[in-house]
Amino acid sequence: MFRTKVLMTAPVMAFLMCGTAHAALTVDQVWADLQAAATAGGMTITVATEVPGDRELTLNGVSIAPTGAAAVATISELAIVEQEDGSVAFFPGEIKLLNTGPANVVISHEELSVSAFEDAGGLGYGIDADSLKAVVNIDDGASSFAGTFDLISVGGRYTRGLDALGVDMSAERLAYDIKQVDPAIGVDSTQISETADLVLSGEITLPDGIDLTALQDSAGFIAAVRAGLGLDFEASQGVSKGEMVENNAAMPLSVVFTTEPGVTTLTANAEEVAMSTSVEGMEFSLRPPMLPMPVNATSGAFVLGLGLPTVTGDEAGDYGFELKLENLEFDEAAWGMVDPSAVLERGPLDVALDLGGKAKIDMLDLMAAGETGTPPATMPELQSLDIRTLAIKALGAAATGSGAFTFDNSMVAMGGPPLPVGTADVRLEGGNKVIDALIKLGVMTEEDAMGARMMMAMFGQPAGDDVLTSKIEAREGGSIFVNGQQIQ
């Protein structure tokens, strides 16, 4: 999916990257530059009429289309005006994005202006608008999607250096309202949301001699990444509020949420793909129709991160995964529906997981194999796994663990699994206390509890009052030992 979206935007990237700098900017030069950039990107710009003026040009009936194909966008009117600072500004009318299928997009705006200015690698662009609104409608007869997206107080700047493109954008507010219906998969939902203080900054690195038009196919995109094409982006946001309603008869649901400020980052190049997102806190109200009252909850920080090597070659690369959820707490009304006698300890839920290690992989080779349907030239190979952090705290119990494993991959070529070799240490506090509470609550029988306690005794060693520890060893040949006893 990620590759497809990249390739769909390749003509736009080519359009932006092409063009040449000029000693001074005039209306005629910028208009010629745009037409040349469009041609280089496989696009054609046509206009119904051109009305020249004093240091300005008005284009009526602008149409943008891939060469030899139907238009993908139209602009009712576009005024191009020279500015006192040497830049050239564009003032567009109504913008429509078209599709030969069931989709159509209309973009309206208030006080939108786009400026072109000299930059090291060609023309750079800036954007300012009091508001931008996109109305999206997709209806193929079987399913439908209707969405309205509003950006308030938008500002941005696109710069084109000799070896990189830079993007900086901000908006005071983003609001959207979405209605989606798809009976085939049981979806009948609405979503509304409003987010404050959005900021996006990033850079696209360009390899020497890149052929931008080649990015429109998989082979060209893969070759460009191997040659040095990459991106590095960071987005931040303020408080976000919204509601999601699912009207599906099988599982109707309503969720009202608020998230505190957060940051999302993305890095992708020939060495690594790394993504992370974090928010300072969350609050939500879940309203299932079968419950007499909403389930309300709050949490502290939430962090999710993933990093993978893109192409490792002979040497393994680093990978990692991180998940953290702090202080997830449900209100007394929610607890009262499942535990009215307050048998269970109602402390917050905390989860922390930090994994990493070494692996051999060629994601570009896997991408190419997926396109052609042929087996990849190299298969991914897990080399090691480090359990840096494993910690769960809930209902008065706490489980922690750590460990390190390497992997024997000698059987993989014959269809076998990679065999781990290493140890992990696990500690459980308060396990029996939770079992006693579940028995008292009536959700666990004495017989079930006996079986659970026997399993805990089998795999754990006493290390204090209601404390068990376990050492898990994976040895060469596939054997597994727990506290020195072989179980496999």
Residue-wise pLDDT tens digits, 298-324 = 999 999 999 999 999 888 999 999 999
Alpha-carbon distance values, 90 to 19, 56, 59, 288 (Å): 17, 10, 10, 50
Q: Give the per-residue pLDDT at 20.
A: 42
Percent of the chain with pLDDT over 90: 49
pLDDT 10s digits, 15-28: 444 444 444 588 99
CB atoms within 10 A of CB 455: 10
Determine the residue type at 355: L
Does the pLDDT at position 484 exceed 80? yes
Does the pLDDT at position 29 exceed 60? yes
Q: If pLDDT is split at 50, 70 and 90, which confidence band does 10 have? A: very low
Does the pLDDT at position 461 exceed 50? yes
DSSP-assigned beta bridge partners for residue 427: 400, 469
Does the pLDDT at position 6 exceed 70? no
Q: Give the per-residue pLDDT at 170.
A: 96
Does the pLDDT at position 260 exceed 50? yes
Would you state the structure tokens that stand for residue 194, as one six-digit string? 């409003």
pLDDT 10s digits, 168-223: 999 999 999 999 998 888 889 999 999 999 999 999 998 887 766 567 677 888 88
Q: If pLDDT is split at 50, 70 and 90, which confidence band does 428 have? A: very high
Q: Give the per-residue pLDDT at 48.
A: 95
pLDDT 10s digits, 97-121: 876 667 788 888 999 988 888 877 6
Among 167-176, 233-242, 285-294, the minimum mean pLDDT is found in: 285-294
Q: Which residue's entry shows tokens 């299932």?
A: 288
Write a three-state SS string for the chain. Answer: CHHHHHHHCHHHHHHHHCCCCCCCCCHHHHHHHHHHHHHHCCEEEECCEEEEECCEEEEEEEEEEECCCCCCEEEEEEEEEECCCCCEEEEECCEEECCCCCEEEEEEEECCEEEEEEECCEEEEEEEEEEEEEEEEEECCCCEEEEEEEEEEEEEEEEECCCEEEEEEEEEEEEEEEEEEEHHHCEEEEEEEEEEEEEEEEEEECCCCCCHHHHHCHHHHHHHHHHCCEEEEEEEECCEEEEEEECCCCCCEEEEEEECCEEEEEEECCCEEEEEEEECCEEEEECCCCCCCCEEEEECCEEEEEEEECECCCCCEEEEEEEEEEEEEECHHHHHHHCCCCCCCCCCEEEEEEEEEEEECEHHHHHHHHHHCCCCCCCCEECEEEEEEEEEEECCEEEEEEEEEEEECCCHHHCCCCEEEEEEEEEEECHHHHHHHHHHHCCCCHHHHHHHHHHHHHHCEECCCCEEEEEEEECCCCCEEECCEECC
Q: If pLDDT is split at 50, 70 and 90, which confidence band does 287 have? A: confident
Among 2-16, 75-89, 121-135, 427-441, the minimum mean pLDDT is found in: 2-16
Closest Cα partner for 194 from 256, 101, 120? 256
Return the top range by mean pLDDT from 31-40, 136-145, 149-158: 149-158
Among 119-133, 325-339, 468-482, the minimum mean pLDDT is found in: 119-133
For the chain, give the number of residues: 488
In the predicted model, what is the mean pLDDT of the chain? 87
Would you state the structure tokens that stand for residue 104, as one six-digit string? 């159509």
Q: Give the per-residue pLDDT at 468.
A: 92
Q: Please report, in angstroms and rounded to a whole number, the separation of the first and last CA atoms in the chain.
A: 40
Q: If pLDDT is split at 50, 70 and 90, which confidence band does 14 have? A: very low
Cα separation of 441 and 451, whole Å? 18
pLDDT 10s digits, 320-371: 999 999 999 999 888 888 888 889 998 899 999 999 999 999 999 898 888 7
Does the pLDDT at position 4 exceed 70? no
Q: If pLDDT is split at 50, 70 and 90, which confidence band does 94 have? A: confident
Would you state the structure tokens that stand for residue 121, as one six-digit string? 């690698």
Query: Beta strand pairing status for 397-408 and 381-382?
Result: unpaired
Cα separation of 174 and 242, whole Å? 11
DSSP-assigned beta bridge partners for residue 422: 405, 474
Q: If pLDDT is split at 50, 70 and 90, which confidence band does 157 have? A: very high
Q: If pLDDT is split at 50, 70 and 90, which confidence band does 46 have? A: very high
Closest Cα partner for 323 from 412, 262, 371, 389? 389
Cα separation of 49 and 44, whole Å? 16
Cβ-contact 423, 472 below 8 angstroms: yes
DSSP-assigned beta bridge partners for residue 359: 317, 382
Cβ-contact 127, 105 below 8 angstroms: no
Does the pLDDT at position 295 exceed 50? yes
Q: Give the per-residue pLDDT at 191.
A: 95
Mean pLDDT in residue range 238-266: 91
Among 140-154, 331-345, 368-382, the minimum mean pLDDT is found in: 368-382
Cβ-contact 426, 400 below 8 angstroms: yes
DSSP-assigned beta bridge partners for residue 62: 75
